[in-house]
Amino acid sequence: MSHIENVIVKRNKKVVLDSRLRLKTSIDAIRWLTFQACAFRGHDESAKSMNQGNFLEMIKILASYNNSVKEVVLENAPKNAKYTSSTVQKEILHTFAHEVQKTIREDIGNSKFCLIVDESRDASKKEQMGIVVRFVDKEGFIRGQGYDEASNMRGEWNGLQALILKEYPYAYYVHCMAHQLQLALIAASREVYKVHNFFQNAIFIINVVSVSAKRNDELLKNQAEEIVRAVELGELESGRGANQIGALQRPTDTTWSSHYNSICSLARMFGATVSVLRSLAPDRSLSPYSRGDAVASLEKLLSFEFVFVMHLMIEITAITNTLCQALQDKSLDILNALSLVSSTKMFIQKLRDNGWEPLLEKVNSFCHKYEIELPDMSCRAREGSTEMPIATLCV
């Protein structure tokens, strides 16, 4: 009887040790994947799958280097205690999160901390909130909070700022100045309807040209050929890192810098874009809708008004984008920021006062290169005036 009891005790000890090793293997795999911000699950986690996902594949690797691990995990584990299910993974993650929060609270104590909260839409148009807590040690200087412009964040009465201030009166609210500037520039550009229409048309053209991999490949091919011709004609200088082939970029609703990058890429790849659209318009293998979109895009692209606004916005956004980028510099202080704002205003005023004739020369040269019809300039409000708003052009 005593012999049987000893066997049972030894067996129970082995079961416990095996279970602990199995669980420790899962914990180590989850900890590594979490630290590296990697996805856990695989598209097909069945036994026949060639790739069962990062989590299971990581356990396989750990087992391949340790026979003790290999003997207790995956197919060698009891079916009711594998410790690899999604429920177990989430439970371990929640435990990690709880321990991290506990450690942060103990480390912060009564010190200052920084809370940054922002939202953005994912590919499915669903709002996702990101929260970043930056805590400081006894020698740190970071304090306050950072939000975006949304009213539910910065609202003085019902926003997150107000709710936190009720509990912590010294939690200072700071709205990112670079983000404020970018939102203000986007809002201002939308007030000028010709500029607003330009960006809408540019997005439409970019979508038509970049809608498929085939069209994008054709765009890049045309761009490469155009660069070679320009270098041969001496219009471009060759050299390491010069004349890189890029892609058309779409502007986003919240980032002014993306508008600058978008129109610069469109101007740089203008000829290649025209070539793609001209090949799409008569292609009978496409649907009538696709051919119609190509014709409409080509008509907009080869209009003087589109080219004029494109060059005008390149001039303006080049100036404002420099300020946007500078305001995001971690080493920037308030005095240098004010100086940069003053310089930006000066450059914009200089462009308003003296930039008209140089701009027209660039536009005319561009139109001549791509055989775009120029409008009659004799319809200006005052003959010989250098002030000619876009709306007065005879297009």
Q: What is the DSSP string of 302-337?
A: TSHHHHHHHHHHHHHHHHHHHHHHHHT-TT--HHHH
pLDDT in tens, 297-353: 999 999 999 999 999 989 888 888 888 888 888 788 888 888 888 998 898 888 888
| Candidate from 143-147, 184-188, 203-207, 271-275 with smallest mean pLDDT | 143-147
Global pTM? 0.59
Strands 113-121, 127-135: pairing kind: antiparallel
CB burial of residue 45 (10 Å; 0-12, 13-18, 19+):
middle
Residues 349, 350, 356, 359, CA torsion sign: negative
**pLDDT mean over 73-89:** 81
CA–CA distance, 342 with 340 (Å, rounded to integer): 5
Q: Over range 222-241, report the average pLDDT.
A: 68
Starting from the edge strand earliest in sequence, which strands make up the sheet with 144-147, in order?
127-135, 113-121, 144-147, 173-175
Instruction: In whole angstroms, give the CA distance from residue 395 to residue 390.
Output: 10
Q: Please say if the pLDDT value at position 124 is more than 70.
A: no
pLDDT of 10 reads 59
**What span, in angstroms and rounded, lies between the C-alpha atoms of 143 and 170?**
10
- Residues 138, 154 contacting (CB under 8 angstroms): no
For the stretch 167-185, pLDDT in tens is 777 777 777 777 777 778 8
Give the residue among 96, 305, 311, 106 at the shortest CA–CA distance from 194.
Answer: 305
Higher pLDDT, 392 or 252: 252
How many contiguous H segments (helices) and E segments (strands) does the chain have? Answer: 15, 4
| Encoded tokens for 140 | 């740190």
pLDDT one-digit tens code per residue, 269-283: 888 888 888 988 888
Q: Is the pLDDT at 380 greater than 60, yes or no?
A: no
Of 152, 82, 150, 142, the closest CA to residue 115 belongs to 142
Lowest mean pLDDT across 2-16, 34-48, 173-187: 2-16
Q: How many CB atoms lie within 10 A of CB 292?
A: 12
How is 15-41 classified by DSSP, letter by letter?
HHHHHHHHHHHHHHHHHHHHHTT----
Confirm if 372 and 282 have CB atoms less than 8 A apart: no
Work out the average pLDDT over 24-52: 84
